[in-house]
Amino acid sequence: MSELLETNGLKKSFGGIVAVDGLDISVEAGELVGLIGPNGSGKTTTLNLITGLLSPTDGEILLNGTDVAGKPPHVVSNRGVGRTFQISKPFGRLSVYENMLVPNVSLDAEERDERIHRLLDELHLAEVADERADALSGGQKKLLELARVLMLDPDLVLLDEPAAGVNPALMDDIIEDIKRINERGTAILIIEHDMSVIRSLSERVIVMNAGKKIMTGPFEEIRADERVREAYLGGT
């Protein structure tokens, strides 16, 4: 049985900087996994490698056992992997609704419209459907990115800091939304600095430091671990 996602010896150098340094992580189908680590530990670079925005210097990225390392983003997306960005990038001049038309889904117009309205409803965006995306709050932009990714009905969604810059009231909604999406069967790998979010969401947490996985386990276990404390306190 292969994992949904598995990286083996994944490596990315930028000149002299080794951002990801022999990373071995995996996500099972339907799992909800947190990815944490100090600033600059290589989390976003890892997502960029998995989604094909960057080519690895070395290593494998297996999706259901097939290596997609170095494959372009549309190939990875077609294989059921969606992602959101640390800084959300909706098309600002398009309306919320129009942003939802961007993913190339294989549905007829009516089914597509149905899915758009269901997702906008579910992610608290129905009342701003006709607003320009650049008029949304930071949290709403993150929700729009998530809604857009879900148009493609992915098996795995990678979230890069969905709580950053989101007001606390909306944050509770976003946490519930992520849980619900996961309970319907979508695996989620979530990068987050807010430990209360990680604690309430993650079944398992992967901790990175200096481009490597230093441990993985349930939240309470990793929180008590000396290596994790050192990574956060000691710098790299």
Ligand X SMILES: Nc1ncnc2c1ncn2[C@@H]1O[C@H](COP(=O)(O)OP(=O)(O)OP(=O)(O)O)[C@@H](O)[C@H]1O
Binder among 7, 27, 45, 181 for ligand X (CB under 6 A): 45
- Given 4, 5, 10, 19, the residue binding ligand X (CB under 6 A): 19
Task: Choose between 15 and 130: whose C-beta lies nearer to ligand X.
Answer: 15
Task: For residues 231 and 227, give the distance between their C-alpha atoms in angstroms, rounded to a whole number.
Answer: 6
Query: Which residue in the block uniquely carries the two structure tokens 């990801």?
Result: 20
Residues 77-96 that bind Mg ion (CB under 5 A): 86
Distance CA 149, CA 47 (A): 15
Task: Specify the amino acid at residue 34.
Answer: G
Residues that contact ligand X, how many (by CB under 6 A): 12
Query: Can you tell me which of 1, 39, 108, 169 binds ligand X, judged by CB under 6 A?
Result: 39
Q: Is the CB of residue 6 less than 8 Å from the CB of residue 62? A: yes
The distance of closest approach from Cβ of residue 87 to ligand X in the complex, given in angstroms and rounded to an integer, is 10
DSSP secondary structure code for residue 1 in this structure: -
Tell me: does residue 51 bind Mg ion (CB under 5 A).
Answer: no
| Residues contacting residue 31 through CB under 8 Å, at least 6 positions apart | 4, 187, 188, 203, 204
Task: For residue 14, state whether it binds ligand X (rule: CB under 6 A).
Answer: yes
Q: Out of ligand X, Mg ion, none, which partner does residue 45 contact, by CB within 5 to 8 A per kind? A: ligand X
The binder of 17, among Mg ion, ligand X, none, by C-beta within 5 to 8 A per type, is ligand X
DSSP state letters, 170-202: HHHHHHHHHHHHHHTT-EEEEE-S-HHHHHHH-
Angle at 23 between CA 76 and CA 44, to 5 degrees: 60
Of 44 and 77, CB closest to Mg ion: 44
Cα 205 vs. chain centroid, distance in angstroms?
14
Mark residues 193-232: x for contact with Mg ion by CB under 5 A, - for none: ----------------------------------------
Q: Is 44 in the site for Mg ion (CB under 5 A)?
A: yes
Other CB atoms within a 10 A radius of the CB of residue 12 amount to 22
Residue 167's binding partner among ligand X, Mg ion, none (Cβ under 5 to 8 angstroms by kind) is none
SS3 call for 173: helix
Tokens (6 digits) for 60: 């494998």
Binding partner of residue 41 among ligand X, Mg ion, none, CB cut-off 5 to 8 Å per kind: ligand X
Whichever of 49 and 152 has its CB closer to ligand X, that residue is 49
Task: Give the residues lining the site for ligand X (CB under 6 A).
Answer: 14, 17, 19, 37, 39-45, 86
